[in-house]
Amino acid sequence: MCRWIVYIGEQSIMLYDLLIKPDHSIVKQVSDRFIPGLYYGLEEDDVNELKKQSTWINVDGFGVSWYTDTLAEFDPSVKGLQPAQFRTIAPIHTDLAFAQLCDHTASTCTLAHIRDASFPPVVEVNNHPFIFGKYTFMHNGSIDSFRLIRFDVMQRIFELQGVVQTNQYQSSVQDSNYIFNILGNTDTEHFATLYFAHLDIIRASNPDFGGDSTDAMLLALIETIADIHLIQFKYKVGPFTPGTDSERVGNNLNLSITDGGEQLVVSRWRDSKEGYPRSLYLSLTAGEKLNRKYYPELPDPSASEDVDDPSVKIDSVRELIARYEPTQQGAHAIIGSEPSTRYVQDWGLFDQNQVLTVDKDRKLRLINLAKFFRPGREHEFDKYNFTKVIEKMKASETGRRIIGLPAHVIDIPQSKRSAFETHLDLGSGK
């Protein structure tokens, strides 16, 4: 079970303060679990499955990306923030180069990931985050039956690659060669490549849609999942596995996607009929305690805040957003597989199948992603103006639409809380 964390905010934070210093930092999450509220209200089978996932140890590599304008300062052809990266397969808690890097680096957008490999090899090119131009992508979870569907996924990437190259769209990969850009063998890198091929087409062919918008990023995610579903339906795997014993088979997609260090899309997703996605938490206030300018030392949590029992009730992300108050750290968001501090009041737990977006104006949206794959999804596509985008897309040479409504309805459990959308302007605290 991989673990990841992402910080995005108007103020920088030291990598050391974000990734090493916290009492439950990403480095400690290699072998230690802190998952408050995860089991609250769940059936025994769901609890047992989540407990089994939480016993895994993450020893198969580490990666961190942070956004910096250093290159733009010396190269006039480069504009804005660009992602830098450090990846290693060495044990991260003993890696001196990583500690030295964190001691002297700060950023307004940082992503880090510790890997638990689904299958070998354990090599640096398989480590997250993955960089695509100005974008970064990381994942905790799995694509069901990936070894079986991998060739079809690559065929779909190649098909979209032809669309980008034929129309000379601006590409997130060198020479618009998405296939050649895949260096490893992970399901994540293939999924990410398919995602950015979709995003490049949506951005380039629909300028009225907003170009570099979180709507474009969200639609690309929907289209990528729909492509995976279409291929899995062909082989009757994943959420389409027949039989009553396969209700827990599906794709786990806890994803983080950043755009130029300014915009963010994250999801907590599982498309099986039973079971729950892996843990994912949000904080809009923890950055103040982590920033040494405001808290040189982390104060000890009070007994009421130090919640170690994952069966207790903590706020959902929606409840956390509802009581948001700005801090000295300014507008920021920290999303992680586990809270990086034990101040539980600073954190909210995502409901199943929620997606969170943060745009350039620091406006936050919490959306139920599953509704785009259920009956009535046509209405949802109309609501977000996705239908207009789809209507502009021409069919490929094979006759298959480049993008479109998901072909298959998925019977995903509905969380009553995640059915409601939530909006928040982080800049104003409203």
**pLDDT exceeds cutoff 70 at 417:** no
pLDDT digits (tens, 9 = 90+) for 297-328: 887 877 666 678 899 999 999 999 999 999 99
Indicate the burial class of 310 (C-beta count within 10 angstroms; 0-12, 13-18, 19 or more).
buried
374 Cβ contact partners less than 8 Å away, ≥ 6 residues apart: 409, 410, 412
What string of DSSP letters covers 124-186?
Answer: GGGPSPEEETTEEEEEEEE-TTHHHHHHHHHHHHHHHHHHHHHHT---SSGGG-HHHH--S--
What CATH number should be reported for the domain whose range is 1-129+270-358+418-430?
3.60.20
Sorted by where each begins, the domain ranges of the chain are 1-129+270-358+418-430
Q: Which of the 8 DSSP states describes residue 351?
A: P
Give the separation between CA 373 and CA 362, rounded to whole angstroms. 28
Q: Which of 192-201, 381-390, 415-424 has the lowest mean pLDDT?
A: 415-424
pLDDT digits (tens, 9 = 90+) for 115-168: 876 666 778 888 999 999 999 999 999 999 999 999 999 999 999 999 999 999
Query: Bridge partners of 425?
Result: 363
279 Cβ contact partners less than 8 Å away, ≥ 6 residues apart: 35, 38, 50, 54, 337, 338, 349
pLDDT digits (tens, 9 = 90+) for 43-55: 999 999 888 877 6
**Mean pLDDT, the chain, integer:** 90
180 Cβ contact partners less than 8 Å away, ≥ 6 residues apart: none
Tokens found for residue 224 = 């990528």
Tokens found for residue 71 = 């290159």
- Confidence class of residue 59 from pLDDT cuts 50, 70 and 90? low
Q: Are the CB atoms for 13 and 99 separated by under 8 Å?
A: no
pLDDT digits (tens, 9 = 90+) for 315-374: 999 999 999 999 999 999 999 999 999 999 999 999 999 999 999 999 999 999 999 999
Indicate the burial class of 303 (C-beta count within 10 angstroms; 0-12, 13-18, 19 or more).
exposed
